[in-house]
Chain A
Amino acid sequence: MNIVVCLKQIPDLQQIRIKDRRPLLEGAPLIFGDMDKSALEEAVRIKEKAKGTKVTALAMGGAKLKDGIKEALAIGADEAVLLMDPPFAGSDTMGTARALAKAIEKLGEHDLILCGEGSTDNYSGQVGPRLAELLDLPQITYVRELEIEGNKLKAVRNMEESFEVVETELPALVTVADEINQPRLASLRDILKAARKPVQEWTAADLGLSEDEVGAKGSAIETVSNLAPEQERKQVVFKGDLDEVTENLINALTKEGVLGR
């Protein structure tokens, strides 16, 4: 079985500073988002069960991807394809999906495409579904459990208020929620081995894409501003009898969803 996992490097949200409501992205280390790592972990788990499975990590990004991709290779991808080319810069979700689709077609036969349900920075959640459309594959989103038997794929989707169990045949595209697994930490042995795994770099021209189809030029979306949300504290104070205010506090916290989840 051939699995392709799509990954995106994003700024480490823990290390971003906010100044005048604007996130300062420069200098923040780049990491793979949690859901992307869950997608990769799921692929590696499938590989560990089904002998002969090959996992390819596919990512589009800047120069730091060259080092960053080693994490995916250490966690268990067998090889990587990097889409690193100036024309790709500034791609919106459509341009990104176009580039990824071309790359997946160029890779050849594939049975399963795995993505995070969204990236932890912009969280549009669009690249997976768009990619499925371009590749004309069945898509299953928000997956919290995944099972593959032969040519059949069974998934449990998290619809927030309910779970939905769906089945399809391979090939298919699945986007995963981070609850699907706890991604492993790569061992030293795997980290050192990762350096020897094959990594290819493809340009827009390699994929037969013109500059109008990807990057800022091919983008239908213009980012007007990027501001941190302002969170005002509610500052609710309960006064009175201790037992009573304790109960009021518990009720209020439960209502906010802080307790009793």
Chain B
Amino acid sequence: MEFRLTAEQELWKNTVREFAERELEPIARKIDEEWERIPDEIIRKMADLGIFGVTIPEEYGGMAMPGEEMQYAVITIHELARGELSMSLPVYTLLCIGWPLLLVPYGTKEAKEEILPKVASGEWFLGINTTEPGGGSDLANIVTVGRSDGDKWIVNGEKAYISGVREATERGGGHLTLFKTDPTKGYKGTTFAYFPADAPGTTYTTYRDMGRMGLSTGGFVYKNVEIPKKYILGEENKGFYVNMEGFNVARALVSAACLGGAEKCLEISREYTKQRVLFGRPLVNFEAISFEIADDYAQLELLKLMLQKGAWMIDQFYQDRSSFTKEEINRTISICKAHAPMLAVEIAKHGMMYHGASGYTKDTPLEMALRGFMSYVVGAEGGYHIQKIIIARDYIGEEAVPYRGTQKAH
């Protein structure tokens, strides 16, 4: 059993931390409020450092360490989130480095050669596109349809609450998209493929979010959009499984973003309560404060360890598919995704309370972090309650699965 990072992982962690302190911390507030976008200059610097290549093999322009892709990805996102507490940049990045992990084993060579080098160089954005106006958790009932026409599909439909609609359209790139190719069947009629954001017939709208304002959220409308079949991941009508497998990667990285941000918020609170003197002693000398910080720290360390294990399991799985079952990975990652965003919200909220009235102002980054974290409690590859369904399905059994209809007791 080995709980230590390798020397190279440790060095990479310190490198990304220093980059985040030097380049991101000073501009996080501007990303969230002033620019409402991530500057190109920062994306270029991240690409130079190799951040967008951590999961992409060398042959496709990346610099992944084979067998440690997820571990590097988790380290990267954790450290970026410490420096950019609005969560805009960590989420932009986690989408770009998460989904290549699925494109590599399931994409066609042609698609990989076209897309991956552009993602690794930071030029293109790569996101995920499953949710529809009707909902995001009930994916068997999506209605966007692709009609087969020779070597392409003609797609009509609508997607909603998609991260990076503007970025993919303006910068280049696109989204891995789940759509129906056999509308008579539920999830067994779905296909998963890359949709370039600039495919003719595609339009987008954006929403006003509560937080992480530096990354757009919006919807796509598809009117007779031609998608070449070379962009498929896996097989036709079996897209649901590939998509679900990808959610484990994305959930792990969302957890990493929340834990990195939470760690930073907790450090802000620790330093503040040590220095702030009230009633003749440091604030942290009151046990109501120090005990809560101790509890939050303990929860944070527990989840970091769980996520480290989950990332390692995913890495083992892609090296040897008999190493872990998908169910084992599902439950490990769902535990992280259920609790990391919730803990992050709690830690930010506690920090705001230690700061008193100033905690409710924009003088600290805590409110910005809280707004960003909430996004991942509510949604992002399955909200809080969906993760519980997954954990319950696995731990309790079929009796606990609501989407299978009325269940009889066994």
Find out whether the CB atom of A188 lies under 8 angstroms from the CB atom of B19: no
* Residue A1, interface by CB 8 Å: no
Interface string of A58-75 (1 = CB under 8 A from B): 000000001100110010
Chain B neighbourhood of A186, CB < 8 A: 11, 15
Contact with A along B1-30 (1 / 0, CB 8 A): 000000110111011001100000000000
In the bound complex, CA of A67 to CA of B11 (Å)? 9
- Does B48 sit within 8 A of A, measured CB to CB? yes
- Is B50 an interface position by the 8 A CB rule? yes
A185 with B15: CB separation less than 8 A: yes
Interface centre among A71, A188, A195 (most CB of B within 10 A): A188
Could you tell me if A195 and B8 are in contact, using CB atoms closer than 8 angstroms?
A: yes
Instruction: Provide the residues of chain B in CB contact with A195, threshold 8 Å.
Output: 7-8
Asked whether, in the complex, the Cβ of B11 is within 8 Å of the Cβ of A71, the reply is: yes
Per-position binary interface string of chain B over residues 52-85, scored 1 when its CB falls under 8 Å from any chain A CB and 0 otherwise: 0110000000010100000010000000000000
Chain A residues closer than 8 Å to B65, beta-carbon distance: 192
Nearest CB of A to B283, in Å: 19
Residue of chain A at shortest CB distance from B51: A188
Which of B7, B10, B14, B49 interacts with A188 by CB under 8 Å? B49
**Chain B residues with CB below 8 A from A185, complex form:** 15, 18-19, 49
Contacts of B8 in A (CB 8 A): 70, 191-192, 194-195
A151 at the interface (CB under 8 A from B): no
Which B residues lie within 8 Å of A192 (CB)?
8, 63, 65
- CB neighbours (8 Å) of B10 from chain A are 67
Scan residues 171-228 of chain A and give those whose CB is less than 8 A from a CB of chain B: 185-189, 191-192, 194-195
Q: For B54, what are the chain A residues with a Cβ–Cβ distance below 8 Å?
A: 188
Residue of B nearest to A195 (CB): B8
Q: At the interface, is chain A mostly helix, strand, loop or mixed?
A: helix
Interface centre among A67, A71, A185 (most CB of B within 10 A): A185
Nearest Cβ on chain B to A66's Cβ, whole angstroms: 8
Expressed in whole angstroms, the Cα–Cα distance for A189 and B65 within the complex equals 9
Which residues of chain A are within 8 angstroms of B51 by Cβ–Cβ distance? Answer: 188
Measured CB to CB, the closest approach of chain B to A240, in angstroms, equals 27
A34 to chain B, nearest CB (A): 12
Query: Cβ of A188 and Cβ of B12 under 8 Å apart?
Result: yes
* Residue with the highest number of chain A CB atoms closer than 10 Å, among B14, B15, B72: B15
Q: Is the CB of A70 within 8 A of B7?
A: yes
Among residues of B, the one whose C-beta sits closest to the C-beta of A182 is: B22
Chain B: minimal CB distance from A56 (Å): 19
Cβ contact within 8 Å between B18 and A188: no
Most buried by A among B10, B11, B48: B11
Known: A67-B7, A70-B7. A191 touches B12 (CB 8 A): yes
Q: Closest chain B residue to A186 by CB distance?
A: B15
Contact A187 B11 (CB under 8 A): no
Residues on A with beta carbons closer than 8 Å to the beta carbon of B7? 66-67, 70, 195
In the assembled complex, the Cα of A67 lies from the Cα of B51 at a distance in Å of 22
A188 to B54, CA, bound (A): 8
A71 CA / B9 CA spacing, docked (Å): 11
Across the interface, A187 reaches (CB within 8 A) one of B14, B48, B72, namely B48
A residues near B50, Cβ cutoff 8 Å: 187-189
Could you list 23 examples of A-B contacts with CB < 8 Å? A66-B7, A70-B8, A70-B11, A185-B15, A185-B18, A186-B15, A187-B48, A187-B63, A188-B12, A188-B15, A188-B49, A188-B50, A188-B53, A188-B54, A188-B63, A189-B53, A191-B11, A191-B15, A192-B8, A192-B63, A192-B65, A194-B11, A195-B8
A188-B12, A191-B8, A194-B11 known; 14 other A-B pairs, CB under 8 Å? Answer: A66-B7, A71-B11, A71-B14, A74-B11, A185-B19, A186-B11, A187-B49, A187-B63, A188-B49, A188-B50, A188-B53, A194-B8, A195-B7, A195-B8
- Interface positions of A (Cβ within 8 A of B): 66-67, 70-71, 74, 185-189, 191-192, 194-195
Binding site for A on B (CB under 8 A): 7-8, 10-12, 14-15, 18-19, 48-51, 53-54, 63, 65, 72
Which 3 pairs between the two chains have the least Cβ-Cβ distance? Answer: A188-B50, A67-B7, A187-B50
